[in-house]
A and B are shown apart, each in its own frame.
Chain A
Amino acid sequence: MIVQALAFYLFAAIMVASAVMVISSRNPVHSVLFLILAFFNAAGLFVLLGAEFLAMILVVVYVGAVAVLFLFVVMMLDVNIAELRHGFLQYLPIGALIGLILLVELGMVAGAWVISPGAGAAAHLPIPPPDQVTNTAALGHVLYDHYVYLFQSAGLILLVAMVGAIVLTLRQREGVRRQSIARQISRRRDEAIEVKDVTSGSGV
């Protein structure tokens, strides 16, 4: 028990600290790297909760794909952070006010939250007991059994999005030098180099 509590406080403390660093570090690349650290710690918290599938997905999808994409964008765009910080103090009061209002609203929602009495009974998919089914299997059951129709349709939508993006952006440009591996490796010595006998003192 004590190990779990220690692990929780370790993960939570590092996560909060790195989250603070994400918004406070001066270099955007460092921000993204701290974001990745926060994701790893969140994954650790999910493992502690017994949600091992979510933990793995968080690492694979968010760290592996999303954060690396962020990193590429940040590195390629070369954002001037000093310029972005300009006028920070000027907008601080109104930003703080909006944040405060949102916080109060959140508190009001959380305070008055009532779960509909019939909601549990109306659910189509009762939650399986966790000691019998791993949550990977439970999620897979929902996704590939119950909602296989929607899963496949969503896959078609993504395919159309990909085809559409390629159709609208790919264009054949003139004068592009393409690599032809077959031609490269079929070159022979006598086609590629020419031996010249240069007399000394006269140049080529």
Chain B
Amino acid sequence: MSLAPDLAAAAPELFLACAAIALLMLGVFRGDGAGRPIMRLSVLALIVALLLVVFPMGGEGIFFNSLFIKDVFGNFMKGLVLVGSGLTILMGWRYVERERMDRPELPVLLLFATVGMLLMISANDLISLYVGLELQSLALYVAAAIRRDSLRASEAGLKYFVLGALSSGMLLYGLSLVYGFAGTTGFTDLAAAFARDAAAGTPVSLGLIVGLVFVAAGIAFKISAVPFHMWTPDVYEGAPTAITAFFAVAPKVAAMALFVRVLMGPFGDLVGQWQQIVVFISIASMALGAFAAIAQSNVKRLMAYSSIGNVGYALVGLASGTEAGIRGVTIYMAIYLVMTVGTFACILAMRINERGVESIDDLRGLSKTHPMMAAALAIFMFSLAGIPPLAGFFGKLYVFLAAIQAGLYGLAVIGVLTSVVGAYYYLRIVKLMYFDEPTEVLDRPIGREVGLVMGVSALAILLFFVMPSLVVDGASAAALSLFAG
């Protein structure tokens, strides 16, 4: 049995893991001063891995004894994850150096987390799902707590770790129930078994449904959907801003891809069983994201609630359970990635006298002191609020259209209503920037990388409607690949 086709299929993961180990060795021998070159090299490794994803070696299919799947959906999501990781590491590094946590292990840990995300996206077995998820989470727990001397960061890391372990426990319990009642852990075999049962008209066993609920709860934890969202605001606020930016982007995309893969793949024939769960957590997330964010004055907490709300909108597409719905989810996650990266670039640029500030009031009168940054942030806020013709509007449009086509009218109506409520707090930031008088002036310059990321993502959001096919075609092919088999 030759391993070569398997290795070629997993080339991005292999390359990234080997690069992370090599950079770790470099860090060991070069000492603490090597943080910056290692950060640059890790961004380069992410770019190479992205090239390996975009120009794959070998064909699609199922590899490593059906533990690993490579398909268009996986490649699309892996591309998003790699872009998200690379951008957040690049723009966050200046902040990391300023806060004196520029240790060579940090980029290495973030690379390992990215490897875990890629493994999650490619999981074709309950065990590889868990292993990938755990690799990602473990690296992120450490990254959250990497500032040991800060009380809030340590608290955030500990909270993240304990709640993450709890969610892993729930997930494992669910996986063991599914294995016990279905007799297999492979996604392909599970899908075949459920299809056979559905064709024969056999009712689904209760234990299996309980297992499915636990699995859904475990993954909902990772995407911070209500009612498993409690950790998000505290961790976002407590962790250093550069780490928060990383948390908000790539892991969310990967966990959402995993959720889609698990529910549409092995449990695709049980759509009647899980649809109500997804509808419930989607409505709850949208509502909580909209209402709880109103009272926030810390911009990182605000973004935490905003991400909870955004996960709710993405889940609208998943709840419909159709090809159009999955296309909506992939488009939504791609746009969410760009908007979130851009917004966090603005948050990273919020400094007064070399000290990072996080209060919304610090943005007062930004249009007079930093007109370009204010314009970029305004674009992101309008886009998050879903105002046409910005990209955020199209993201919501695709998921709501899919929900309506699937007959989920109530869900779509609630989604539109909550996005109106959400518009209030997004537009409040715009109002503070453009119609209030500046109190304190933010530092300048904001930094080359941050400015570059901010500008590029603002342009991407602004000009999305000119060439939407760039994203939409890829997402359509990705969604199609999930339904082909």
Query: Are A and B bound to each other?
Result: yes
A146 within 8 A of B: yes
Q: Does B353 contact A (CB under 8 A)?
A: no
Which listed residue (B131, B138, B183) contacts A161, Cβ 8 A?
Answer: B138
Shortest CB–CB separation between residue A123 and chain B, in angstroms? 9
Q: Ordered nearest first, which 8 A-B pairs have the shortest CB separation?
A: A164-B142, A149-B64, A153-B131, A167-B105, A149-B67, A160-B112, A160-B139, A157-B135
Question: What are 21 residue pairs bridging A and B, where the CB atoms are less than 8 Å apart in the complex?
Answer: A122-B183, A124-B184, A147-B65, A148-B3, A150-B67, A153-B119, A159-B21, A159-B112, A160-B135, A160-B138, A160-B139, A160-B142, A163-B108, A163-B109, A163-B112, A163-B142, A164-B141, A166-B105, A167-B146, A168-B145, A168-B146
Apart from A149-B6, A164-B109, list 7 A-B contacts with CB within 8 A.
A153-B135, A154-B131, A157-B131, A160-B138, A163-B109, A168-B145, A171-B148
Main secondary structure of the interface of A (DSSP, over half): helix
Q: What's the dominant secondary structure at chain B's contact region? A: helix
- Smallest Cβ distance from A173 to chain B, in angstroms? 14
Asked whether, in the complex, the Cβ of B131 is within 8 Å of the Cβ of A150, the reply is yes
Whether B148 pairs with A164 at a CB distance below 8 angstroms is: no
Determine the residue in chain A with the shortest Cβ distance to B67. Answer: A149
Q: Are the C-beta atoms of B109 and A160 separated by less than 8 Å?
A: yes
Q: Is the CB of B132 within 8 A of A153?
A: yes
Cβ–Cβ < 8 Å partners of A166 in chain B: 105
Asked whether any CB of chain B lies closer than 8 Å to the CB of A156, the reply is yes
Asked whether A81 is an interface residue with its Cβ less than 8 Å from the other chain, the reply is no
Cα distance A119–B180 in the bound complex, in angstroms:
11
> Is the beta-carbon distance between B128 and A149 smaller than 8 angstroms?
yes
- Residues of A participating in the B interface, judged by any CB pair closer than 8 Å: 116, 118-119, 122, 124, 145-150, 153-154, 156-157, 159-161, 163-164, 166-168, 171
Q: Please indicate which of the listed interface residues A145, A153, A157, A167 has the most CB atoms of chain B within 10 Å of its own CB.
A: A153
A150 and B184 in contact, given A156-B115, A157-B135 (Cβ under 8 angstroms): no
A163 and B138 alpha carbons, distance in the complex (Å): 10
**Nearest CB on B from A118, distance (A):** 7
* Minimum C-beta distance from B317 to chain A (A): 29
Residue of B nearest to A146 (CB): B65
Contact present for B103 and A167 (CB under 8 Å) = yes
- CB neighbours (8 Å) of A154 from chain B are 131
Bound form: Cα–Cα A167–B112 in Å: 14
The answer on a CB contact under 8 Å between A164 and B128 is: no
CA distance A111 to B6 in the complex (A): 45
Taking CB atoms, residues of chain A closer than 8 Å to B116 are: 156
- Minimum CB–CB distance from B234 to chain A (whole Å) comes to 19
B residues 103-162 touching A (CB-CB < 8 Å): 103, 105, 108-109, 112, 115-116, 119, 127-128, 131-132, 134-135, 138-139, 141-142, 145-146, 148
Chain B contacts with A in 10-59, Cβ cutoff 8 A: 10, 17, 21, 24
Selected contact of A148 from candidates B64, B112, B132, B139, CB within 8 Å: B64
CB neighbours (8 Å) of A156 from chain B are 17, 112, 115-116, 135
For B115, give the chain A residue with the smallest CB separation.
A156
Judge whether B68 is part of the interface by a CB distance below 8 angstroms.
yes
Residues from chain A with Cβ under 8 Å of B142 in the complex: 160, 163-164, 167-168
Cα distance, A163 to B103, chains bound together (Å): 12
CB distance from B190 to the nearest CB of A (A): 12
Instruction: Given the known inter-chain contacts A153-B132, A153-B135, A160-B135, please indicate yes or no for A167 contacting B3, CB distance below 8 A.
Output: no
A163 B24 Cβ-Cβ under 8 A: yes
B138 neighbours in A (Cβ, 8 Å):
157, 160-161, 164
Cβ of A117 to closest chain B Cβ, rounded Å: 11
Instruction: Please tell me which one of the listed residues B6, B21, B108, B183 contacts residue A119 in the complex, with CB atoms under 8 A apart.
Output: B183
| Complex contact A168–B112 (CB within 8 A) | no
What does the 1/0 interface line of B293-310 toward A look like (CB < 8 Å)? Answer: 000000000000000000
**CB–CB B1/A145 < 8 A:** yes
Task: Give, as a whole number of angstroms, the nearest-CB distance from B162 to chain A.
Answer: 15
Q: Compute how far the CA of A118 lies from the CA of B189 in the bound complex, rounded to whole angstroms.
A: 14
Q: Is the CB of A116 within 8 A of B148?
A: no
Interface residues as binary, B367-383 with A (CB distance below 8 Å gives 1, 0 otherwise)? 00000000000000000
